[in-house]
Every structure is written in structure tokens, then in C-alpha cells.
Structure 1
Amino acid sequence: MSRIVVSGYYGSKNAGDEAMLAAMLEVLGDLDPKLHITVISADPEDTRRRHGVDAISWLGLPAIFRELRRADLLISGGGSLLQNVTSRRSLYYYMGIIAMARLAGTKVMLYAQGIGPILGGVAEHAMRWLGNRVDLITVRDQGSLAELERLGIRRPPIECTADPVLAIHPVGRETGRAIFRAYHADGAKPVVGISVREWQGWTHYKKVLAEVSDRIVRELGARVVFVPMQFPDDVRAAQKIAAQTKEPCTILKDEYTTSEFLSLVGNMDLMLGIRLHALIFAGVMGVSMIGISYDPKIDRFLSSIGEQPVGNLRDVTADELMAEIRRKWNDKQTFRRNNADLLVRLRDLAARNAELALNLAHR
């Protein structure tokens, strides 16, 4: 039985990261049902309950080192772990776990990582030194490949694959419909989902999204539903936007599992997202999407399916967003077909991450 330790931003009530873990476990389990996986988590009990795997605390460094000594492989990823824009300290933490694995003599794979931006001479030097000493790197987009090249990380085998969530199986829509009924948001009206987040205390984009929400209701006769990907932070962000609206909208105020989120998104006619994995969920469930950029990972994902973000959080306008919403609303089937063709290829690439990980673990 091979043993794998997984390091990432798990147990922190972020739907995107929990979906990445669920997708990784799903594909790895399909390929090797006897695999033993231990996840380093901010909330080990939640991770055990949610995913059915062993978990240890991210603060328990002695326990982590003991587990790494027993393991055949450390998977670092997926997600944007190796960057220092949203947090300077987290970069050094995740690099520290990688360094512990090397010290324990355990193989290391950077798994479908979104690399960078990594800024500052010390951080760049540390990442260059460590990145050239892992065993295998897969990245989820071409922008991450470019960041590795800029940093001078060339020694391990490197492949561009895709975000792990793209390999997850689509789910039925019944659970999502039941959640909508509980919020009195069901019925014959079409649904536009909006995924929001706080960002650096900015207020401009919240006013824009409040106006867009009203215009969607008036012009399209649709229902607007705000979906919280990071609980409860995104609920509070949605409430700030809803307080500025004049037309009715619905805020989902509960925490959901990956399958519940997928089912919710599957019941939508369009997803307008700031959160990356809200857009990826839309791709998995065959729903047209519009992204607003705040981080290179949004631009990189949209580029991979032939799309571009509509502005960014600093300067996006309601008119820009409504123009793109109308364009996709009037020809939803065409955009769904185009995205579906590209996502078939990305799904295969996402599954390849697990194949490469098991090949490395079994060596």
C-alpha cells in the first residue's frame, strides 16, 4: 500500500480548495483504491468527516514530520500555495513542508499548482532553491510555466496540466433545486449566480455588482443568487452588495459540500464570478460563465478556455458587465458548446495529475 501526504489550504471552509481535495481524492482513489492518504489540515476533524481520509493538524510539525517519514510521496497542491501576494507567510509555510519532506527522504510533487506571483529577492531565491529539488512539477496553466521559467526552476520534470477540479464528475441537479426551494428561490425564472469576495477593502466593485444585480432582474427577468465559496466571509461580502440593491436577490447563507455546490451551479443559467472555482464549477456543470479578474489565476483559467475576464475589481463597470451578460444570455447554447469542447481536453489533463503522482509514488 502506497502512502501519500497532501499539503494544501484545506480545512479552512474554502469551497474551491475543498473541491480540489475532493477531486484529487476521487481520481487517485479510482486509480488505486488501496492508497492511504493523510491530509495536512487546518481542521483535521472537518477534513476526516468531509472527505473520509486521515488528517493531521497543520500546526503539528512533529506529527507532520513523522507522517512524511512513513510516506512514499508528498503532494503539495493544488491551488495557489506558492505565491506571496495574498499572504507572505503562507509561502514560507508551504515551502517549509516541502523542505521537511526532503529532509525525511520523501519524494515531492508540486501538484497542479498555480505558481506565483512570487515577489522579492529572498522569496524568489528560496523558491528557486527548493523548486529545483522536488521530484516532479505539474502546473495548472501556461502563466505558471512562465513563472517557473522566470524563477529559474528547470531541473525537475515539468508539465502543464489543468486544475484538479476539472477532473471531478458532474452531479445531478436535484440537491441544488432543494436548496433553492429552501430559500424560496425556485420556480420558472432563469437564475444568474454571482460569486463574490472581499478584496483589500475596495468598495467600487460592490456598487457595480449591486447595479448589475438590479439590471439582471429588470432586463432579463432572472433571479440573482449569491453563492458563498469562502464561508462565512463571502456571505458578508454578498450582504454588503445586497444592501445596495433595489431589486430582490437571494444570498445563500449556509456552508455547502463540493457536490452541493456543483448541484447549485448546475441549476444556473449563467455564473458571474470573482472566485476562480465558481468559474471552474460552471465549466464542470456546463454553465456559461463570466469572470472578473483580481488575480492572474482568473485570467489564466479563462484564457485556457478561450475567454477573457471582463475588467478587474479596480475598474470594472456595470455597462461592461451587462454587455457581456447580454451577449452570453442571447446565445447560451453556443457558449456552452464551445466551453464544453475545450473542457473535455482540460478534464483529461486534470486527471493526468493523479496518474503522474501515482507513478512517482510507486517508483
Structure 2
Amino acid sequence: MSSIVVSGYYGFRNAGDEAMLAAMIEVLSDLDPKLNITVISANPEDTKRRHGVHAVYWLNYWQIAKVIRKSDLVISGGGSLLQDVTSVRSIYYYMSILFLAKMLGKPTMLYAQGIGPICGSFARKAMRWLGNKIDLITVRDEGSLEELDNLGVKKTPIRVTADPVLGIHPVDRQIGRKILRRYGIEGAKPLVGISVREWRDWSHYKDIISTVTARIVDELGARVVYLPMQYPEDVEVAKKIAVDMPKSIVLLDEEYTTSELLSLVGNLDLLIGIRLHALIFAGVMGIPMIGMSYDPKIDRFLKSMGDESVSDLQNVTVEKLMEKIHQEWQEKDSFAKTVEPVISKLRRDAFVNAELALELISRGKTKR
């Protein structure tokens, strides 16, 4: 029986990261049903309950070292872990887990990572050193490959794949319908979803989204629903934006599982998102999407879909956003069919991550 330890931003109630973990576990377990997976988590009990795997506390290094010592592979899994824009400290934490694994003589892998931006000079030097010690790197986009090249990571095999969540299959839309019904959202009116997040306490983009929300109701005859990807933070941001809005605008104020969120997105006619995985969920479910960028990962994903962001959060205007909304609205009925070949390719690429991980384990066992 092979054993993998997975490090990442898990147990923090972020739907995108939990979806990545769920996708990784699903694909890895499909390839090796006997695989033993242990996750390093901020909330081990919640991780065990959600995902049915072993879990250890993210700051208990003694326990982490214990499970790594028994493992066949340590994965730094998914997301934008190796960057110092949202936090200047977290990058050192994730590098420390990989460093510990190398000290214990274990194979290591960056699994479908989104690399960068890494701005600090010491962080860049540390990443260059560690990146060249890792056994295998897969990145979820070409931009991350360029970032590694700029950092000077040259010695490690690197493969461009796709975000693990793109390997998830579409779910039943009935799950989301039941949730929407609880909020009084049903009937023939089209439905537009909006996924927001807090960013540097900026107010400009929130004012723009507030104005656009009202115009969507008036001009498209649609209802608007705000979807929380990080609970409860996104709910609080949505409340600031949608204050004094009419009844045709609804804030979903509960925490949802990956399947529930996918199903909710599947009931939309259009998604407008700041959160990356809200956009990825739309892609998986064949729903037209509009992205607003606060980070290169948004632009990179949209580029992989043959699109681009409407604007960044600092420069977005009502006119730009409404123009994009009307464009996507006119083409919404053909979106799923148009995007199907793109999603199929990205799904295959996402599956490759797991295949390469298990190949790395096999090579390690052969050398023993």
C-alpha cells in the first residue's frame, strides 16, 4: 500500500482549495484504490469528515514529520501556495514542509501549482534553491512555467497540466435547485451569479459591482445571487456590496460543499467572478463566465479558456463590465457547446497530475 502526504491551504473553509483537495483525492484514489492519503490541515477533524482521509494539524511539525517519515511521496498540492502577494509568510511555511520532506529523504512534488508572483528577494532565492531540489513539478498554466524559468528553476522536470478541479465531473443540478428554492429563487427568470472577495480593503470595485448588479436586474430581467467561496468572509463582502438592494438580489449566507457549489453554479445563466475557482466551477458546469482580475492566476485561467479578464479590480468600470455582460448574454446559449473541447482537454491535463504522482512513487520504490 502506497502512502501520500498532501500539504496545502486546507481546513480554512475556502471552497476552491477544498475542491482542489477533493479532486486530487478522487483522481488519485481512482488510479490506486488502496492509496493511503494524509492531509496537513488547519482543521484535521473537518478534513477527515469532508474527505474521508487521515489528517494532521498544520502547525504540529512533530506529527507532520511522523507521517512524512512513513510516506512514499509528499505533495504540495494545488492552488497558489508559492507566492508572497496575499501573505509574505505563508510561502515559507509551504517551503518548510517540502524542506522537511527532503531532509527525511522523501520524494517531493509540486502538484498543479500556480506559481507566483514571488516578489521578495529572499523568497525568490529560497524558491530557486528549493525548486531545483524537488523531484517533479506540475504547474496549472504557462504563466507559472514562465515564473519558474524567471526564478531559475532549471534542474527539476516541469510539466504544464491544469488545475485539479478541472478533473471533476459535472454534478446534478437538482442539488443546487433545492438550495435556491430555500431562498425563494425559482421560476422562469434567468439567474446571474456573482462571486466576490475582499481585496486590500479597496472600495472602487465594490461600488462598480453594486451598480452593475442593479443594472443586470433592470436590463436583463434577471435575478442575481451572490455565492460565497470563502466562508464567512465572502458573505460579509457581499453584504457591503448588496446593501439596500431589491428582493431580486439574494445573498447565499451558508457554507457549501464542493458538490453543492458546483450544482449552484450549474443553475446559473452567467457567472461574474473574482474568485478563481468560481470561474473554474463555471467552466466545469458549462456556464458562461466573466472574470475580474486581482491576481495573474485569473488571467492565466481565462487565457486557457480562450478568454481574458474584463479588467483588474483597480481599473474596472461600469461601462466595461456591462459591455462584457451583454456580449456573454447574447452568446450564453452556445457557450457550453463551444467550450466543451477546451474543458475536455483541460480535464485530461488535470488527470495527468495524478498519473505522474503515482509514477514518481513507483520509481521511488524501484530504487529501494
| TM class, shorter-length | over 0.9
Distance in 2, matches of 1:120 and 1:222, equals 45
Which deviations, in whole Å up to 9, do the C-alpha atoms of 1:108-133 show, x marking residues without a partner? 00000000011122111100000000
What residue in structure 2 maps to residue 94 of structure 1?
Answer: 94
CA contact (8 A) 1:207 1:244 kept: no
Amino acid at match of 1:105: G
Cα offset, 1:245, TM superposition: 3.5
What is the deviation of 1:333?
Answer: 2.6
Query: What secondary structure does 2:293 align onto?
Result: coil
- Stretches of 4+ moved more than 4 A in 1? none
What is the rounded CA distance, in whole Å, between the counterparts of 2:97 and 2:121 in structure 1?
A: 21
Q: Is the 8 A contact 1:81 1:114 kept in 2?
A: yes
Matches within 5 A, 1:59-78: 59-78=59-78
Q: Does 1:248 align with 2:248?
A: yes
Q: What's 1:298 paired with?
A: 298
Q: How does 1:115-134 map to 2 (within 5 A)?
A: 115-134=115-134
Distance 1:37 1:77 in 2: 12
Deviates more, 1:320-329 or 1:289-298: 320-329
Query: How far, CA to CA, are the matches of 2:120 and 2:61 in structure 1?
Result: 27
1:1-363 correspondence to structure 2 within 5 Å: 1-243=1-243, 245=245, 248-363=248-363
State how far apart, in whole Å, the 2-side matches of 1:251 and 1:336 are: 26
Cα contact 1:210–1:244 (8 A) shared by 2: no
Q: How many residues align?
A: 363
315-324 vs 330-339, greater mean Cα deviation? 330-339
Query: Aligned letter for 1:199?
Result: W
Amino acid across the alignment from 2:93 = Y
What SS does structure 2 have at the residue aligned with 1:292? strand
Cα separation, partners in 2 of 1:244 and 1:295, compared to 1, 3 Å: farther
Instruction: Give the whole-Å Cα distance in 2 for the aligned partners of 1:214 and 1:247.
Output: 11
Amino acid in structure 2 at the alignment position of 1:280: I
Please give the secondary structure, in 1, of the residue aligned with 2:311. Answer: coil
Find the aligned partners of 2:190 and 2:104 in 1 and give their Cα distance: 54
Aligned to 2:366: none
Query: Runs of 5+ in structure 2 lacking a partner?
Result: 364-368
Q: Per-residue displacement from partner, 1:52-78 (whole Å, max 9, x unpaired)? A: 000000011000011111000001010
Deviations 1:267-291 (A, max 9, x none): 0010000000000000000101000
* Distance of 2:256 and 2:46 partners within structure 1: 13
SS in 2 for 1:309: coil
Corresponding residue SS for 2:117: coil
1:305-357 deviation line (CA, Å, top 9, x unaligned): 11000011111011111111111111113333222221110110001000000
Which amino acid letter does the alignment assign opposite residue 355 of structure 2?
A: E
The answer as to whether partners of 2:195 and 2:229 remain within 8 angstroms in 1 is yes
- Deviations 1:112-155, CA, capped at 9 Å, x for gaps: 00000111221111000000000000000000000000000011
User: 1:139 touches 1:161 (CA, 8 Å); kept in 2?
Assistant: yes
One-letter amino acid of the counterpart of residue 220, structure 2: L
* Separation in 2, partners of 1:25, 1:129: 29
Report Cα offsets for 1:8-49 as digits up to 9, x if no partner.
000000000000000000100110000000000000000000
Q: Report the AA paired with residue 57 of structure 1.
A: Y
Structure 1 length-normalised TM: 0.99
Between the aligned partners of 2:247 and 2:255, the Cα distance in structure 1 is 25
Looking at structure 2, the residues matched to 177 and 334 of structure 1 have their Cα atoms a distance apart, in angstroms, of 22
